[in-house]
Structure 1
Amino acid sequence: MYIGTKGWFVSELKKIGVSYYEGRKIESYKASILANLLESKKN
């Protein structure tokens, strides 16, 4: 898996305990939304 791909963002978010966002699974979002979500959760 390459850094910055959708799958990478999903796995990084699951490592910190995020599986759902706004009632939907994180797999259903685009990579750009997941990137922003990961950045906000790390801060």
Structure 2
Amino acid sequence: MRRTKATRIYKKTGNLRAVQLLLGHSKMDSAVRYLCVDLEET
């Protein structure tokens, strides 16, 4: 459920930094891997 909420927030806002903070990840790469997001597609 945590990943689903984070994915929904990212898709609505497009703000990866906000999702990173929400998840408590210290590195942006961690948030990107967690969400399975390809930054080149966005």
Q: Please indicate, yes or no, whether the TM-score normalized by the shorter chain is above 0.5.
A: no
Taking structure 1 as the reference length, the TM-score comes to 0.32
Higher relative contact order, structure no. (Cα contacts within 8 Å, ≥ 6 residues apart): 1
Taking structure 2 as the reference length, the TM-score comes to 0.33
Higher strand share: 1
